[in-house]
Amino acid sequence: MSSIYAELREEELSTKTIERNLRMLKGNLKKSKARYTLTLWKRLRDVKPEDLSWRDPLASLVLSNESDIIKELPDEDYESFMVRADKRYSK
């Protein structure tokens, strides 16, 4: 029985869903005035939906400080990303 639940949790996102999610993420970044968003938006242009799976945070609209795309930001952009996250969660 537990293997059925494990399989359900590991259901793959379709490439079409990942493409839509990336478009939404790019759109949200384009609207933001945060320092890091332009750099991220440009880097997302190089992300291929078929290279992502449900395990990749980007595929699900998640920008994680553990993601390579965030870790590779220029220092000032990375700091801006982290400050915004700290402010969001310190309330």
18-72 pLDDT, tens digit each: 999 999 999 999 999 888 999 999 999 999 999 998 889 999 999 988 899 999 9
| Residue for token pair 């799976």 | 53
What is the rounded distance in angstroms from the CA atom of residue 81 to the CA atom of residue 90? 14
Which range of residues forms the domain containing residue 22? Answer: 2-89
Banded pLDDT at 87 (limits 50, 70, 90): low
pTM: 0.73
| Residue for token pair 């750099």 | 39
AA letter at 42? K
Are the CB atoms for 24 and 61 separated by under 8 Å? yes
- How many domains are contained in the chain? 1
Residue 8 has pLDDT above 80, yes or no: no
What is the rounded distance in angstroms from the CA atom of residue 6 to the CA atom of residue 1? 9
What is the rounded distance in angstroms from the CA atom of residue 58 to the CA atom of residue 69? 9
Name the more confident of 9 and 87: 87
